[in-house]
Structure 1
Amino acid sequence: MSLENTINEAIKTAMRAKDKVALDSLRAVKSQILLLKTEARGAEVSAEQEIAILQRMVKQRKDSSEQFTAQGRNDLAEVEEAQMKIIEQFLPKQLSAQELEAEMKNIIAETGAESIKDLGKVMGVASKSLTGKSDGKSISEMAKKLLS
């Protein structure tokens, strides 16, 4: 089942449960998917593109939550965090720190990277192979740690 169909089913479930936060979150995801389809002009939307949309939306909510918390608006931060958790349900299982480190060591060995100078080469491969499994910031931090 495609992500769009999964989201549509989740919207129906949220409507029946009268879960406003879930409904708002899911409608936002559906909106972004439809926007991507419109921009693609009838071309198929890949799973990687759908994952990228979800990751972007999670990151936006995380950033908003941090800003609201810094401003003392915990009520708004809680809404953003709740929406973030709902959207994360549709992402692939995220790698733990240990799993990410093991994957990054494999990628470093594959690319033959030896120092921080090879960071770009490692990040190129890691970004493609770990799409959806970890965010770019975590991948970058782990690559820098292992190459230093």
Structure 2
Amino acid sequence: MSLENTINEAIKTAMREKDRIALDSLRAVKSQILLLKTEAKGAEVSAEQEIAILQRMIKQRKDSYEQFTAQGRQDLAEVEDAQMKVIEQFLPKQLTPQELELEIRKIIGETASDSIKDLGKVMGVASKTLAGKSDGKSISEMAKKLLS
């Protein structure tokens, strides 16, 4: 089942349960998928593109959460956090820091990288290999840590 179909089913469930936060979050995801489809002009939307949409939406909510928390607006921060949790349900299982470290070490070995100068080479492979399993910031931080 495609992400769009899964989201549609989740929207129906949220409507039945009168879950306003889930409904708003899911409608936002559906809107982004439809927008991508219209930009693609009828071409199929790949799973990687769908995952990228979800990751971008989670990053936006995380940034908003941090801003609202810094401004002392816990009421708004809680809404962003709840929406983040709803959207995260549709992402593939995220790697733990230990699993991420193992994967990055493996990539460093495959690319024969040994210094921070090789960060670009490692990030190129890691971004493609670990897409959807971890966010770019975590991948970058771990690669920098292991290469320095």
TM class, shorter-length: over 0.9
Query: Partner residue of 2:122?
Result: 122
Distance, in Å, in 1 between the alignment partners of 2:52 and 2:89 is 14
Query: Partner residue of 1:71?
Result: 71
Q: Which runs of 5+ in 1 are unaligned?
A: none
Query: Where do 4+ consecutive residues of structure 1 move more than 3 Å?
Result: none
Query: Partner residue of 1:36?
Result: 36
TM-score, length of structure 1 as denominator length: 1.00
Q: Does 1:94 align with 2:94?
A: yes
Structure 1 residue 131: Cα displacement = 0.3
Structure 1 residue 28: Cα displacement = 0.1
Structure 1 residue 127: Cα displacement = 0.1
Q: Write the letter of the residue equivalent to 1:144.
A: K
TM-score, length of structure 2 as denominator length: 1.00
Q: Write the letter of the residue equivalent to 2:28.
A: A
Query: Partner residue of 2:110?
Result: 110
Q: Write the letter of the residue equivalent to 1:94.
A: Q
The percent identity for this pair of structures is: 86
Structure 1 residue 3: Cα displacement = 0.1
Counting only pairs closer than 5 Å after superposition, residues 14-33 of structure 1 correspond to structure 2 as 14-33=14-33
**What is the CA RMSD across the aligned residues, in angstroms?**
0.3
Q: Write the letter of the residue equivalent to 1:5.
A: N
Aligned length: 148
Distance, in Å, in 1 between the alignment partners of 2:67 and 2:20 is 23
Query: Partner residue of 1:82?
Result: 82
Which whole-Å deviations, capped at 9, do the CAs of 1:82-125 have from their partners, x for residues lacking one?
Answer: 00000000000000000000000000001110100000000000
Distance, in Å, in 2 between the alignment partners of 1:126 and 1:44 is 25
